[in-house]
Structure formats: structure tokens, C-alpha cells
Amino acid sequence: MEEELLEEILASYRGDRGELVPILQEVQDNLGYLPEKSMVDIAKFIGVPESHVYSVASFYAQFRLLPLGRKRIAVCRGTACHIRGAPQILNRIEKTIGLKEGETSDDLEYTLETVACFGCCALAPCIRVNMDVVGEMTSEKVDELFPPVIEGVKNDQ
Amino acid sequence: MTNEQKSILVGLGTCGISVGAEKVFSSLEKEVSNLNLTENIHVKRTGCQGFCQQEPIVVIEPEGFFYTKVNPDDAVEIAHSILLGGKPLERLFYREPITGKPIPHYRDIPFYSKQERILLKNCGKIDPEDIDDYLTVGGYQALRKALLEMTPEEIILEVKGSGLRGLGGAGFPTGLKWEACRRTTCEEKYVICNADEGDPGAFQDRSVMEGNPHSVLEGMIIAGYATGARNGLIYVRAEYPLAVKRLKIAIEQARQNRFLGGHILGSEVDFDIEIFQGAGAFVCGESTALVRSIEGKRGRPKPMPRARTTEIGLWNRPTLLNNVKSFANIPLIISNGSEWFAQKGTEKSKGTAIFSLTGKVVNCGLIEVPMGINLRKIIYDIGGGIPGGKALKAVQTGGPSGGCIPADMIDTPVDFDSLTKIGSIMGSGGMVVMDEDTCMVDVARYFLDFTRRESCGQCVPCRLGTKQMFEILDDITKGEGRPEDMDLLIELGEAIRRSSICGLGRTAPNPVLTTLRYFRDEYEAHIYEKRCPSGVCRVRKGSD
């Protein structure tokens, strides 16, 4: 299924070098991450060494080389969030779901990441769950949003 | 029943949505349709109203009633209040923080009345997903004027005459950049809008794109005509999905209306715009790194000496790269003339500045002020001072490339040159207010943690230097600092500043150097007394 999907995605591109980042983004949007096989195929499609695709995929913060959880939690590390308690929020989430920053739970329920800034600074501290930004976070809101996972065995990225 | 046309504006920027504005919007729509009032009352989606902290915000026009922190359940009452004989909802009015006095109209709220909103004038007023709304406020009139009445040379003269300087941070004169790009003889050229707003604590570019995307497109099309470029590209960071969505809609509508594509407005000018989404790298705000990332490479800046991007840019073609706000200013300059623009601001910094005012300040949000205003007016008159009766300690401008300005220097005017003089920078417009509970060593550590992660790793001073600085700062915050560390940080900082390839490295030491200059006592307390005066750091010994 993955291969068909990849073929379908590649069919809408010409194979120019400048399409590399958009292709990686579309593949990740559909598969949730960049499987090794997809990077090999993309390299062939564009006509660049596999190492080039890997070097680009590993350079940008957006790209993931391992599967992600169904709920992707991103804690903002922006300046306004930092001085309004983001470290405490991150800490609380880490404890609640039993994962550290950059980790995914074994059951693929959660992935916990941090991002540089959502630009939602006036409502700091904020987090994002999948596509939804939640502002004015508090410890209580953390507990409401994330009922604790039983065994947070992890999958280090 | 009312027979007058009314609008209910709901601020649907990322900030509003994050606190539930979409639910407010849909319940208002539902209620208005339940009352069979869709003919008379227009429930309108707008971008950020600027006063993000009071979101969800609902504004009733034409009266200008300003409702704050609106709940979806308030929809029924709001809809009824508009009916004939209905009364405005006092309980939702903004309240003056000290006296608690309700202020019904946004124009009377000090947060708005003390600003000078030119660029942001229509942000929060028009529907960003409807080109007709932009057209009714005079949108694309500047494009018409530029294309049909002016030569490219005249446009460039006008931009030069306005004194507009790049609002992405560096402050390079925009007109000169345009002229340099115009002069190149290459057939193929690019106009790129830099919307890779990476500074943590800055969101004004996002708000402009979400609230008034057509103003950015209009500025870019004029730039295309002036420089002779046919290809436009907006480089938006992937963290801004709503901005991307609204820009896509705007581009499509502009194409349908013949503002983009071939023979724009019946002229000989061709120009089109595509969107490129950044993939999450702070360094890509730097021109050559940005260009490389579009070319499908790692976003690493080109070492100096190198040709200017205006000569050799994307795909080795001449490329004009300007910030979102710089482009959005262009229609205003063309419509109103360079003299109008040059009257605002100071001798060397013209026009207005937009800041994301955040942190420990009563009124957080997006503000626009004339260049040259002092920090005191921003923090106290517009920002409403520091919450909880706490004392102001510092103001951070310019993000990780900027510095911390101490409370006793808040009479400094805000313009490119004055801020540089005191060790900070104008930057892209982040302004984070810090109070007595903010530890300046922790802030310095925070920024170096950021730059250390974001360093592209290409040049040694930046890659290893920022890591070293971070580790020393980390030690200090843990109570493991040594007295000689302070001098070592300065020495390292100066070396990184002098020898890094790009702006990221060259400015990375600023937060450390300015905090050491203005808040040395805090470093000393951590090092000698093993104590964090603000109670933030978990210092190993002697902390309370």
C-alpha cells in the first residue's frame, strides 16, 4: 500500500531537484514519517544519491525517520512560552504520558516533541495536539487533555 | 427587526482559534440564521485583531463594540443584542485593568488608541479568504496604478524615496535592493517573500499573512514588475498551516481576477506566485540558506565573500528577497506616495514597526507603532504595564539574535540604529517583556540552547562555540559556574561573533553579551552565592 501511495504522489511531480523538499513533505503528510524505502525511491526518482535525500531529510526539523504516534503533541519552546512556564508544562506532559521529548510510545498512541515557536505567543504557554494549537496551558489542562498511558515504553528517535 | 446592515467580526487567526474562536464563529452563524437575519447581519471571518490575549474577540460593526473572551454560549445573547432595541453586552466589554471600568469601543481602548495602525489597518477587519473584501478597502488599486501609470524606474524611485528598510531584521534599504535586481540583465529573475519567521516570540508575519494575504501578493506583483521578474515564491514555515491555507486561497482568487498570471490587468506584465513550505530550520531565514533549501539542499548559508542574492540567487538567477511586512508596505507607498510614508518614523528609520508584544506584560498582542517611539510608551501605554504589580526587569528584542535591554534604558527610541547601539537589534519584531521573576541567566541559557540546536553545523565557531557557551551557562544555572566563566563567555562570544559565516552565528552571542553587560550581578549571584535571585534556576546549593 505504501508503495502505491508513493507512486501516486511521485506521479504529480516532474523529478526536479527543487521538488525534493515538497515531495518529502507530501510523503510524510501521508505516511506520517519517511520510511527508508521511500527515501531510496525518491532518490531514484529525482536522480540524486540516496545520501543526498538522507542528508536533507535529517537536516530539517520537520522530517521524521520513524513512525509517529496517533497523537502528536508538540510543546512550544518559544521565548514567551519559556518565561511563562513552558518548561513546567513539558515536564508535566512528560510525567503524565511517560515519554521524554522526541519519543514515541510503543503502542504508537503518543509522540512528544518540542517546536521552536508556533507564533501564538500572546497566549503562552501553548502546545499543539496534531493540528490544533491549545493556548494558555496549565497543569490542569494537561491532565484533562491526556489521560495517563499505562505503560509508556518508548521508542527513541 | 433591524434594517441596518451589521457585521459581526470574529477574529480567526491562529491565536483566536487556539482558544476556541471557530466554535464562537459557527455558533454565531447558527444563531443569526435561526433568527432569519442572514440578510442583514454578516457574520464575518477576519484575521487576528491584534489583541490576541483577549481572544476570542468579536467586534460589532458599524458601532465598533468590542467583545472579549467570548464563549460559544454567548452567541445567542450577542445575536439578540443586535436586534432593534437590543442593548450591547456590557459583561463582554474589555475592562480597564486598574479601575475595572468597561470600555465599549475598541477605538477607546488604550491598547489600540495609542498605536498607529497602517499596515495592520485592515487586519482583523476584512475577510482574508474573500478577495472582494480586500477590493472594497481599495485593494489592488496600487497595482493598477503601478502597472498602468508608472514605469518600473518610477516605482523604484518611489520605494527608494520612501526610505523603507527591510523589515526582516537587517534593515537594508528596500529600494536599493530593487534597483540592484532591476539592473541585472538576466532574462529570468525571481521575487521571493521571506515568510520563514523563525524567531521564537515573533508572530507578526504570520498575522499579516493570515489577516491580509492579498496585501503581500500585491506588493510582490509590483516588485515583479519593477524588477522584471516573472516568478514569485513565498517561503512560509511549515509551522504556519493557516497562513499557507489562506495564501493559497488568495493566490487562486488573484489568478481568477487576473491580478496574477499573464497580461495582468491587460498590461504586458506576466507574474505568478507559488508557495514553498519551509521544513523547520531557523537558519533558512538567511537568504542563501533559504535559496538552497528551495533548491532541494540542506539549508546552509554560503560563506563570504559571495555574490549578493540580487545578482546570484535562486537557481543562480537574480533574486529579490524581502520580508512579508516589506512587501505589504509597498501598496501603501505606491497608493499614498513616498512622502506620506517618509513622514512617519525617524530620520533613518521610516514608517512603522510591528511588534509581537508578549511575555510579562498586561496587554499581549500585535502592535504597530511609528519608528522612534520609546519602549516606555510601548510597555506602559500600549502594553498596560507589568501584571501583578511586579517590577519590569528587561525587554528582549530581536529574538535569539537580539539582546536584553534593562529597565533603566526603556526611554531608548525604537529604531534600527538606536537598538543596535545598545547591543540589541530591531530584528523581525519579537518583543518579550521580562519582570522581576525572570532570571536573566536562564534567559541567556534558553537562547543559546536554541541557537545551539539551530546551528547548521557548517562552520566551527558557531557549531562548537554555541555549544560551549550553552554548557557554561547551563553549569552556571545549576550552581556549578566558576568566576572565570564570565570572562570566558565574553571571549567566546566575541570570537563567535567575528568568525561565523552567517548572521545566525554572528548574532548568537548577543543575548549572553547583553545580559552580562547589564545583569552581571545575576551571574555573580549564581556563581558566588549559588543562588538564583529570581528563584527560577534550580541552583544546587543555597537555593530557597
Q: Taking 70 as the threshold, does the pLDDT of residue B79 lie above it? A: yes
Chain B residues touching A46 at Cβ < 8 A = 296
Mean pLDDT taken over chain B: 94
Dist CA B84 CA B96 (whole Å): 28
Dist CA B10 CA B6 (whole Å): 13
Band (B191; pLDDT cuts 50, 70, 90): very high
pLDDT score, position B82: 87
Tell me which of B244, B294, B358 to substitute to probe the interface with A (most A C-beta atoms closer than 10 Å).
B358
Q: Tell me how many residue pairs between chain A and chain B have CB atoms under 8 A apart.
A: 151
- Domain covering B440-528, topology: de novo design (two linked rop proteins) (1.20.1440)
Chain A residues touching B299 at Cβ < 8 A = 59-60
Q: How many CB atoms lie within 10 A of CB A57?
A: 24
Does B352-435 carry CATH code 3.10.20.600? yes
Looking at the complex, does the CB of residue A19 fall below 8 Å from at least one CB of chain B?
Answer: yes
Q: pLDDT tens digits for chain A (157 residues)? A: 688 999 999 999 999 999 999 999 999 999 989 999 999 999 999 999 999 999 999 999 999 999 989 999 999 998 889 989 999 999 999 999 999 999 999 999 999 999 888 878 888 899 999 888 888 999 999 999 987 655 544 444 4
Superfamily classification of domain B6-113: Glutaredoxin (3.40.30.10)
Task: Calculate what percentage of chain B has a pLDDT beyond 70.
Answer: 99
Task: Calculate what percentage of chain B has a pLDDT beyond 90.
Answer: 86
pLDDT in tens, B357-389: 999 999 999 999 999 999 999 999 999 999 999
Band (B543; pLDDT cuts 50, 70, 90): very low
Residue B322, classed as helix, strand or coil, is strand
Least Cα distance to B428 among B532, B306, B324, B340 occurs for: B324
Which of A19, A116, A133 comes nearest B18 by C-beta? A133
Question: Is the separation of the CB atoms in B225 and B270 below 8 Å?
Answer: no
Instruction: List the domains of chain A with CATH numbers.
Output: 2-59 (1.10.10.1590), 71-156 (3.40.30.10)
In chain A, the residue whose alpha carbon lies closest to the alpha carbon of B431 is: A80
In chain A, the residue whose alpha carbon lies closest to the alpha carbon of B296 is: A18
Residue B223, classed as helix, strand or coil, is helix
Which of B14, B240, B299 comes nearest A59 by C-beta? B299
pLDDT in tens, B454-488: 999 999 999 999 999 999 999 999 999 999 999 99
Chain A residues touching B296 at Cβ < 8 A = 16-21, 46, 48, 56
Looking at the complex, does the CB of residue A157 fall below 8 Å from at least one CB of chain B?
Answer: no
Which of B53, B202, B278 comes nearest A123 by C-beta? B53
pLDDT score, position B69: 95
Q: Taking 60 as the threshold, does the pLDDT of residue B542 lie above it? A: no
**Domain map (residue ranges) of chain B:** 6-113, 131-342, 352-435, 440-528
Average pLDDT over residues B66-70: 96
- Interface predicted TM-score (ipTM): 0.88
Residue B430: phi, psi to the nearest 5? -75, 140
Which of B14, B299, B434 comes nearest A118 by C-beta? B14
Dist CA A36 CA A28 (whole Å): 12
Classify residue B344 by burial, with Cβ atoms within 10 Å: 0-12, 13-18, 19+: middle
pLDDT score, position B544: 40
The CATH class of the B131-342 domain is alpha beta
In chain B, the residue whose alpha carbon lies closest to the alpha carbon of A57 is: B298
